[in-house]
Structure 1
Amino acid sequence: MKRSIIIMMSFLINVNGGAGYKKEVLKNGLKVLAYEKTKLPMVVCIYSFKIGSIHDPKGKEGLVNLLVSMLEKGTEKRTYTQIGEEFAILGTRFSYDVSRTFSTLGITTLSENLEKSLEILSDIIYNPTFPKEEFEKEKERLINEIISNKSEPDYVSEILFTKYICKDHPLGHLPEGDENSLKNINLEDIKEFYKKYFVPENAICVIVGPQSPDELIDFVKKYFEKEKKGENLPWFRLPPPISGINVKIFHMNINQSYITMGHFGPLRKSPDFNAARVMNYIFGGGGFSSRLFEEIRNKRGYAYSVGSGFLIIDPYPSLYTFGLQTKIENTNDAIRVIFEEINKIKREIKDKEIEDTKSYFKGYLPRITETYYQIATNLLTQELYELPEFFWEKEIKEIENLKKDEIIEAARKYLDPQNILIIIVTDTSKYKW
């Protein structure tokens, strides 16, 4: 275990008409971001570990997801049932999530019930007992859920795309793992991993409420400043880029083809990310107004829906995917159209497309911080992805000032039809590439 030097830092600034914001690192290494929002008597607190499925031990994929789902299953003070009952009495909403690079546990509660709710959340995070009976039930539930999901072609397509784009990299599986890898996980694996890595130095706490930032941080200190040492998280190499046009075809007894195409894309903190997101909106991310929707849905009637987007996994490159479901006989032509549209947007974008896209983001970005939960999640995004303070405010101006050549350059940089993965899940007895 490495020794760490804790540097205390804090600063307070005023934003959004007087709302306070403060960031502080506690004595135990926990980073805290506190934001004052006075409209309603409610508080959102999100506790995030910088631990995701990328940290799953090889052969035991799904361990982090299983571990996080077990945290609420019993503590030194409470049973799983008691935790649920106490949150229900308080009217507190509890949730958790596991992604590829981080995990979150959060509560939304009334201000008057904040301290009691934080005490329960702290108990869940710091004092889990991982009861064996609950472990076996939760593992079985997750295994059955994965087996059930594998009857869905879009889920199978997601598994396959992740596997083949990342190859043998630790990012090459979904957070829930696989039914076989889950069977390899025992209770001691969970306890040992929790002890090593689920410590404050590997975590961020964001809290948003009507109290002042100092008061909010004092609440966090009271319930989360417990000293707990562990190990630094391992760092993994970047996944290798895909080389050439890779086509993978898989059989299912279905009457359509499920197509997922793509490659790696920009980092969220890349200087040209906003140019890339504007380009993507025009290409396929803009729903009814996108080029892919117009060409594949409106003109040809090949699919009910088609789109593209970035799956952000900083500090690793995003996954840039585009896909659709279509009749088997239309599969190859739909793929051909996507290639054509990739090549077109790398050459020319219309002024009207840029104007409409900028108008969309001008209306959309201010709305992503309207609620307490939205503010909390965006502050967490800011910290996890090393973005500027209140990045959403700056991005409105950045997008407004983008020039056409910057957007076309983003298309040329991040759309690569010569190095791309194509996953086709279909009835192979009726389809030929």
Structure 2
Amino acid sequence: MIRGSTCFASILAVLAFFTWLADAAPVRAIEIQRVKSPGGIEAWLVRDTSVPILSIEFSFRGGRTFDPLDKSGLSNLLSGLLDEGAGTLDSKAFQTELENKSIQMSFGAGRDAFSGSLKTLNEHRSRAIELLSLALTEPRFDKEPVERMRQQALVALKRGTTNPDYIAGRTWATAVFGNHPYSRPSLGNEKSLQAITRKDLLKVIKERFARNLLIVGVTGDITPAKLGPLLDQAFGGLPERTELHTIPEVEPNLSGDTYVVELDVPQSAIRFGQTGLKRNHPDWYTSLVMNYVLGSGSFSSRLFTEVRDKRGLAYSVGAGLSPMRYTALISGHAGTNNENVADSLKIIQTEWHRMRKGGVSANELAHAKSYLTGSFPLRLSSTDRIARTLVAIQYHDLGIDYISKRSSYINAVTQDDIANLAQHLLDPDALTFVIVGKPKGVSATAPAPKI
């Protein structure tokens, strides 16, 4: 949940005006520095003196996957409460400090990591760091904000019961991941949310927030010498080590079934997919280029061209790589009128067959490489985006020189590489579909799991 001043964007806009020409020019080489604090906390830093801003992004390995079965939704609830009062500051006082000093602070609970973000003007960075430290080490979890956030989650769950996209996502996760923690809803369910106590929230802080699980990326107008003590101030109060319990790998249930959830709506929500590659697989960049052509290339992908552009069957369609800690998928989505579902599914399967049999053309390969290398600098267009990229690079162990080498990895992919990978990886017969709506001409091959 994002917090902070409503005037912060205005301040940034004024500052950005003076650096507009620089931002419009080609992205300069980014120098990443390893910084180790006096207390031994490491961060990667990209120094940017163009504006007096500090952005800190961080994550702890181990996300909502580690929530207890009967307390699903715990991490998500926690992410909305860490800035709702800490130390001697209750919720109102804490939020007032953020607002008055134009400090942005937010937290998020992903499947495999719990993340945090802090963005502040340099003149307030000392206090901002103090507030972050309090949020991580002395959260209050007072009754009023806990119940308020719990009710927000319960309302969101209730809205989801009539939302085709939400139902499709939940049904997909349950069908594919079975009893594995990946199948659990990020928001939890009504019973689990009602069961979460203040003690449960404090237990997460104690058992999962530790320096050995911490990854930090920093961008802004600060020197390594000044950053070191700030790292200790922000994170030095955390335990030095903790050990997470073991989560098993999961073999997704992707046997080519079609699951249909009847819902009286004019348009169906579709989820589909098959097994993919983890981020550390040697063929990752080949799969990245291949999938851009197949499904992730927005308006230029084969799925978009064949399903929407040429035939007008769907208002949205695409597929992307979904690498996770304990498995990996190629997962896709589509949205279409009930009458067009059957034809849409046939074309998706046809395109899977076509890629497997014929790979990509020289023009498709060149376009994919051009986009994937040329669009990457957009991820580095602000201090917080750069800091998030630094965290991601560390999380996936890509190396401190990744930014400078990424283009070479993509440009090294050949048509033969894609042809070989497509033959071994893509399996049209294993494509598994979840459809929520009243699709015409589509029959379920297996009963949809309850969610």
1:233 is matched with 244
Map of 1:107-122 to 2, 5 A cutoff? Answer: 107-122=118-133
2:346 is matched with 336
Aligned mate of 1:22, from 11, 27, 34:
34
Aligned mate of 1:319, from 309, 314, 329:
329
- In the TM superposition, what is the alpha-carbon distance from 1:372 to its structure 2 partner? 0.9
Q: Distance in 2 between matches of 1:413 and 1:25?
A: 46
- Stretch deviating more after TM superposition (322-331 or 193-202): 193-202
Letter in 1 for 2:136: I
- In the TM superposition, what is the alpha-carbon distance from 1:135 to its structure 2 partner? 1.4
* Alpha-carbon displacement from aligned partner over 1:242-280 (angstroms, at most 9, x marks no partner): 252122110111012211110231112222111111111
**1:134 to 2:152 alignment:** no
Aligned partner of residue 436 in structure 2, secondary structure? strand
Verify the 8 A CA contact 1:100 1:174 in the aligned structure 2.
no
- For the structure 1 residues 202 and 307, does the alpha-carbon distance in structure 2 shift closer, same or farther, using more than 3 Å as the test? same
Q: Distance in 1 between matches of 2:52 and 2:83?
A: 26
Q: Distance in 2 between matches of 1:20 and 1:403?
A: 30
- In the TM superposition, what is the alpha-carbon distance from 1:49 to its structure 2 partner? 1.7
Q: Distance in 2 between matches of 1:326 and 1:429?
A: 11
Aligned partner of residue 218 in structure 2, secondary structure? strand
- For the structure 1 residues 18 and 240, does the alpha-carbon distance in structure 2 shift closer, same or farther, using more than 3 Å as the test? closer
- Stretch deviating more after TM superposition (188-197 or 57-66): 188-197
- For the structure 1 residues 413 and 77, does the alpha-carbon distance in structure 2 shift closer, same or farther, using more than 3 Å as the test? farther
**1:195 to 2:206 alignment:** yes
2:312 is matched with 301
* Alpha-carbon displacement from aligned partner over 1:14-58 (angstroms, at most 9, x marks no partner): xx658451143774x744222212222111012322231100101
Aligned partner of residue 69 in structure 2, secondary structure? coil
**1:277 to 2:288 alignment:** yes
1:10 is matched with none
Aligned partner of residue 245 in structure 1, secondary structure? coil
Q: Distance in 2 between matches of 1:18 and 1:58?
A: 43
Aligned partner of residue 237 in structure 1, secondary structure? coil
- In the TM superposition, what is the alpha-carbon distance from 1:230 to its structure 2 partner? 6.0
**1:56 to 2:93 alignment:** no
Q: Distance in 1 between matches of 2:190 and 2:423?
A: 40
- For the structure 1 residues 25 and 173, does the alpha-carbon distance in structure 2 shift closer, same or farther, using more than 3 Å as the test? farther
- In the TM superposition, what is the alpha-carbon distance from 1:191 to its structure 2 partner? 2.0
1:12 is matched with none
* Alpha-carbon displacement from aligned partner over 1:81-117 (angstroms, at most 9, x marks no partner): 1111111111111222111011112111112211111
- In the TM superposition, what is the alpha-carbon distance from 1:78 to its structure 2 partner? 0.8
Aligned mate of 2:166, from 139, 145, 155:
155
Q: Distance in 1 between matches of 2:58 and 2:420?
A: 38
- For the structure 1 residues 328 and 18, does the alpha-carbon distance in structure 2 shift closer, same or farther, using more than 3 Å as the test? closer
**1:378 to 2:389 alignment:** yes
Aligned partner of residue 202 in structure 2, secondary structure? helix
- For the structure 1 residues 401 and 168, does the alpha-carbon distance in structure 2 shift closer, same or farther, using more than 3 Å as the test? same
2:429 is matched with 418
Q: Distance in 2 between matches of 1:419 and 1:366?
A: 36
Aligned mate of 2:196, from 185, 194, 199:
185
2:11 is matched with none
1:401 is matched with 412
Q: Distance in 2 between matches of 1:259 and 1:427?
A: 11
**1:164 to 2:175 alignment:** yes
- In the TM superposition, what is the alpha-carbon distance from 1:227 to its structure 2 partner? 5.1
- Stretch deviating more after TM superposition (175-184 or 378-387): 175-184
Verify the 8 A CA contact 1:274 1:395 in the aligned structure 2.
no
- Stretch deviating more after TM superposition (222-231 or 332-341): 222-231
Verify the 8 A CA contact 1:35 1:213 in the aligned structure 2.
no
- Stretch deviating more after TM superposition (336-345 or 236-245): 236-245
Aligned mate of 1:41, from 35, 38, 52:
52
Aligned partner of residue 260 in structure 1, secondary structure? strand
Letter in 1 for 2:158: I
Letter in 2 for 1:166: F
Q: Distance in 1 between matches of 2:377 and 2:216?
A: 23
TM-score w.r.t. the length of structure 1 is: 0.90
1:75 is matched with 86
Verify the 8 A CA contact 1:328 1:431 in the aligned structure 2.
no
2:13 is matched with none
Verify the 8 A CA contact 1:259 1:325 in the aligned structure 2.
yes
TM-score w.r.t. the length of structure 2 is: 0.87
- In the TM superposition, what is the alpha-carbon distance from 1:291 to its structure 2 partner? 0.5
**1:146 to 2:146 alignment:** no
Unaligned runs of 5+ in 1: 1-15
Q: Distance in 2 between matches of 1:407 and 1:423?
A: 28
Verify the 8 A CA contact 1:30 1:201 in the aligned structure 2.
no
> In the comparison of the two structures, how many residue pairs are matched?
417
2:95 is matched with 84
Unaligned runs of 5+ in 2: 1-27, 445-451
- In the TM superposition, what is the alpha-carbon distance from 1:420 to its structure 2 partner? 3.0
